[in-house]
Structure 1
Amino acid sequence: MAANKKKILVTESMSKTGRALLNARDDIELLEFPNMISSEDFQAMLRAQAPVHGVALGATRFGEVELQAAGDMKVVTRIGVGYDAVDVPALSRHKVPLMVAGTANSPSVAECALFMMLTLAKRAAEMHALVTEGTWPQRLGKLPYDLFGKSVLIVGFGRIGTRTAKRCQAMEMQVLVYDPYKSAADIRAAGYEAVPELNAALARADFLTIHCPKTPETVGMFNGALLRLMKPTAYLINTARGGIVDEKALYDALASGRLAGAGLDVFEQEPPPVSNPLFKLPNVITAPHVAGVTREAVDRMSEQTARNILSVLDGDPIQQNVINQDVLG
C-alpha cells in the first residue's frame, strides 16, 4: 500500500453504493471482513493490517482492544444507527469519532413497526390458516381488529419514533408519545399527545411500540411491573434493541393472557436459541433483527457510512452523525 493511502476495513454487508464512493478515491484501500466475525479474529485482522485508519461495522464489537490493535484509527462508523456494541468512552479517550447512518434506515424501521401492529391486529397468520386449512366456517370466531381509533404509545421520539408517529396518525390512531428528553411543546407541535408519566400512559395504550436506544437506563425497562399496567387487549412491539424488554416477564404476560400479543425484531440474545419459550406462543410474531435492513435501507446506510468516513478523512466530519460530540472541535 502506498504510504499516503488510508486503510479502511468494511464489513461484507456494506452494499455496492457505499463501496463505490470509497473505491472512487485513490487515497483509500478497502479490505473486507465477515459481518459475524469473532472478536478474536477481528482483533487479529486489525493487528495484521495495522495501521488501520477507519472501520465500517455491522454487528462487530469495538472498543479499547480494537483501537490498540488498529494502531492509527481515525473514524469508527456503524452501518446502522445502534451502537450498543461500541465502547464510546474508549473512542472518546482516543479522540476517535463514532458515526452512525443518521436517518438512513428510519423509514424502514417505522414501516416494520406498523407492519407488526397490523399483522397482529389483523390476525394475519390465523386468517391465512382459515383459508388454507379448510376452516373457513370458523372465521367469525376469530375476528381481526382495527388500528382506527386505537391508542398507540410511542416510547422514544427520535429519528424512528417520529416517523412511526406519522404512520400511526395516518391510520387515524390516537398517538401518545413518551420521551423524557424531548419537550412536551415540541411533541404537541408535531400533532401528538405528550405523556409525562410512562405508567399512566401504559394503562391507556392499545399498542406500545419501542423506539428508544439501549442504555443502562433502558435495559430491562419493560419489566413485569410495567407490563402489568398494560391492558390485556394490548400489543407490544419492539424493533429497538433486545434487552429493553424483559423476555421472561413478557412471556409470563403473554402466556397468562395479561397481554394480547407481541411483535419482536430484537432479542436479549442474538441470534436467540430456538428453545426460546416465546417462539411457542401463537400470539407472538418475530423477525431476525432486520427492521432497518431492507434492500433500500442497506443502500442508504452504506452510502451514508461511506460519506461519514470520507468526511472525517477530509477534515470536516458530518457533525449530526457523530455520537461522541466531545471529540469535535
Structure 2
Amino acid sequence: MRRRFRVGYIGWVPHPAFLETASQDPDLEIVQISMDQPESAMIQTLSSCHGYYVMAARDELPQALHVHAELLAKLPNLLVAASYGAGYDTCDPQACSDGGVLLMNQAGGNAEGVAEHAVGMMLACLKRMPEAHAAMQAGQAADRNALIGRDIKGMTVGLIGCGNVGRRTAEILQLAFGCRILASDPYVEAASLAPLGITKVPLEMLLIEADVVSVHCPLTPETRGMIGADAFAAMKPGVVFVTTARGSIHDEAALLNALNSGQVASAGLDVWAQEPPPVDHPLLAHQAVIASQHTAGVTLQSRANITRIAALAFSDLAAGRMPPRVINPAVLPRWRARYEAAMGHPVG
C-alpha cells in the first residue's frame, strides 16, 4: 500500500481551490497547523510532514517558521517546501539544498493578475491620478492644466525581469498600446524574447531609454538593492517607476529622493521593505505615488490558479512524479534518495 504524502500548512491557504483539489487525491494528507499555539507546537506538527506549503510573504509568517537551516534541522521528514506564490522570500534555497529538500514555487499562476496591476499602475501614474486625487482632497484642483498627463501609446517600457509576469505585461502593452518593450534579464536568452517583440538589453541601456521602468524579478542576493540612487539617476528624467515584484529590490529612500527632485515623475508601488509599510512612511504620503499592499496577485482568479497548481504538484510528488517549477534542481540526486527512503518507491 502506497504511503500517503503528508502536507502541512500554517494558518490558512490562499484559496479553497487548494483544499478542493488536494481532497481529490487519496494519496495526499493535508494538515492545517493553527497559528493559535506556541511556535514549538507548530514546528512539532510540521516535523511529521513530507511537504510544507509555506506562505510567500515574509511579514505574514513568524520568522521561526521561515524555511531556513534552523527550522530544517527540526524537520527530519521534510522532502519539499512549496511557496504559496511565485515568490519564495520565506525560503532559503541554499538551506533547502543543504538539507536535501526540494523547493518549489507557483511561478506563472498569478501572472495575469500581476501584469494587469502593473499596467494599471503605469496608466495611473502617466495620467497623474495620484496627484489629481491629492489635489482634489486639498481643494487645489481648479487648474486642470497643472495635472496634464501623458499617453502610454508608443512609449518605451523597460522590464527588469522577463519571466511569466514580464512577458504577459509586455503582451498587454504591445497589443493595447503599441509600446516598444525592452527587457533586462540575465537568465533569459535574447533569442527567446525576439519572437515576442521584446528586445533584450543590458540594464544600463534599459534605464537610459525607458519612459516607464517596471520591475518583475525575484528578490535574491543578486537583486537586493539593485535599484538604488545610481539607477534612479541613470533613468530618463520624468520616468515612471513601477514595481509589483518584491520589496527591497528598490531602495525606498533613494526613490523618495528621486521623486522629490523630479527625476522620477511618479511611482506605482505594490511591494515594500516592510509589509504593510508604516502609516507614516513618506512614500505613502507622496502625491506622485500610487500604493497598494502587495495585492497585485491577490485576485480571485490568480489565487484559485496558484493554489490549484500547488495541490497538483503535491499530487505529483505523492504519485512519484517529478513536479514542475523546482527552484533548486541541483539537489535532485540527493533528494531522490531521501524521497525513496521516506516513501518506499522511487520518483520518476
- Contact kept, 8 Å, 2:51 with 2:81, in 1: the verdict is yes
Alpha-carbon distance between aligned partners in 2 of 1:265 and 1:70, rounded to the nearest angstrom:
34
Matches within 5 A, 1:228-247: 228-247=233-252
1:307 aligns with 2:304: no
Alpha carbon RMSD of aligned pairs, Å? 2.5
- Contact kept, 8 Å, 2:3 with 2:27, in 1: the verdict is yes
- Contact kept, 8 Å, 2:126 with 2:152, in 1: the verdict is yes
1:193 aligns with 2:192: no
Matches within 5 A, 1:101-250: 101-127=106-132, 137-170=142-175, 171-195=177-201, 197-250=202-255
Q: Deviations over 1:100-149 (max 9, x none)?
A: 11311111111111010011111224555778888775223312210012
Say which SS state the counterpart of residue 310 (structure 2) adopts.
helix
TM-score of the pair, normalised by structure 2: 0.85
- Contact kept, 8 Å, 2:130 with 2:288, in 1: the verdict is no
TM-score of the pair, normalised by structure 1: 0.90
Say which SS state the counterpart of residue 267 (structure 1) adopts.
coil
Unaligned stretches of 5+ in structure 1? none
- Contact kept, 8 Å, 2:130 with 2:287, in 1: the verdict is no
- The worse-fitting range, judged by mean Cα deviation, of 136-145 and 11-20 is 136-145
1:8 corresponding residue in structure 2: 7
Q: Deviations over 1:155-176 (max 9, x none)?
A: 1111111111111112111111
What letter matches 1:202 in structure 2? L
Matches within 5 A, 1:10-159: 10-11=9-10, 12-33=12-33, 41-48=38-45, 50-58=47-55, 59=57, 60=61, 61-127=66-132, 137-159=142-164
User: Given the superposition, is the C-alpha separation of residues 56 and 281 from structure 1 closer, same or farther in structure 2, using an over 3 Å criterion?
Assistant: same
1:327 corresponding residue in structure 2: 331
Matches within 5 A, 1:288-299: 288-299=293-304
Alpha-carbon distance between aligned partners in 2 of 1:76 and 1:242, rounded to the nearest angstrom:
22
For residue 88 of structure 1, report the CA deviation from its aligned partner: 1.4
What letter matches 2:17 in structure 1? T
User: Given the superposition, is the C-alpha separation of residues 191 and 43 from structure 1 closer, same or farther in structure 2, using an over 3 Å criterion?
Assistant: farther
Unaligned stretches of 5+ in structure 2? 334-348
What letter matches 2:14 in structure 1? M
For residue 279 of structure 1, report the CA deviation from its aligned partner: 1.3
Say which SS state the counterpart of residue 29 (structure 2) adopts.
strand
- Contact kept, 8 Å, 1:264 with 1:286, in 2: the verdict is yes
Q: Deviations over 1:32-56 (max 9, x none)?
A: 246xx59x94453121453112111
- Contact kept, 8 Å, 2:67 with 2:96, in 1: the verdict is no
Alpha-carbon distance between aligned partners in 1 of 2:277 and 2:133, rounded to the nearest angstrom:
26
1:251 corresponding residue in structure 2: 256
Matches within 5 A, 1:259-274: 259-274=264-279
User: Given the superposition, is the C-alpha separation of residues 245 and 134 from structure 1 closer, same or farther in structure 2, using an over 3 Å criterion?
Assistant: closer
Aligned residues: 323
- Contact kept, 8 Å, 1:46 with 1:52, in 2: the verdict is no
What letter matches 1:219 in structure 2? R
User: Given the superposition, is the C-alpha separation of residues 140 and 268 from structure 1 closer, same or farther in structure 2, using an over 3 Å criterion?
Assistant: same
Alpha-carbon distance between aligned partners in 2 of 1:191 and 1:244, rounded to the nearest angstrom:
26
Say which SS state the counterpart of residue 235 (structure 1) adopts.
strand
